[in-house]
């Protein structure tokens, strides 16, 4: 894994996170489309986050093959600060593929807004520090 590739994935992640922030700022009174769109943007952000963690770990000689493994190893390496929170976020991400009722969608939306977005922002800060350290 090269630093250039990590930077490419990081840019995609930052863009996805900004779009997730936009969705979270929308008024829920606009309808269920806001909840659905937010969940979809969360899915993109989460997928990029674990792939970014996997890339950073690979750059450091640690190979991972799954989101769960990337979370566990990322926590050990210090790029993920709240391992349990990330495992919970992975669980919600896995549920998003199978949401069939409005109540469950709203529960996941609330998790994104109140917990998961902060975890992703903290991860963003960790990765920025990691890249800055390497580029010096």
Q: What contacts 24+ positions apart, CB below 8 Å, involve 84-93?
A: 85/115, 85/116, 85/119, 86/119, 88/115, 89/46, 89/115, 89/116, 89/119, 90/46, 90/50, 92/116, 93/42, 93/43, 93/46, 93/47, 93/67
* Catalytic residue, candidates 19, 68, 93, 136: 93
Identify whether 98 is a catalytic site residue: yes
Identify whether 116 is a catalytic site residue: no
CA distance 45 to 30: 23
* Catalytic residue, candidates 19, 98, 116, 136: 98
The residues assigned a catalytic role are: 93, 98
């Amino acid at each position: 894994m090269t630093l250039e590739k990590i930077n490419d994935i990081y840019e995609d992640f930052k863009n996805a996170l900004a779009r997730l922030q936009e969705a979270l700022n929308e008024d829920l009174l606009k309808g269920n489309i806001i909840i659905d769109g937010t969940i979809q943007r969360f899915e993109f952000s989460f997928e990029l986050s674990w792939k970014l963690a996997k890339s950073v770990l690979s750059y450091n000689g640690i190979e991972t093959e799954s989101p769960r493994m990337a979370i566990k190893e990322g926590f050990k390496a210090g790029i993920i600060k709240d391992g349990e929170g990330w495992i919970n976020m992975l669980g919600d991400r896995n549920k998003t593929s199978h949401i069939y009722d409005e109540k469950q969608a709203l529960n996941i939306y609330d998790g994104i807004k109140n917990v998961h977005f902060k975890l992703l922002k903290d991860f963003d800060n960790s990765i920025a520090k990691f890249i800055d350290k390497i580029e010096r």
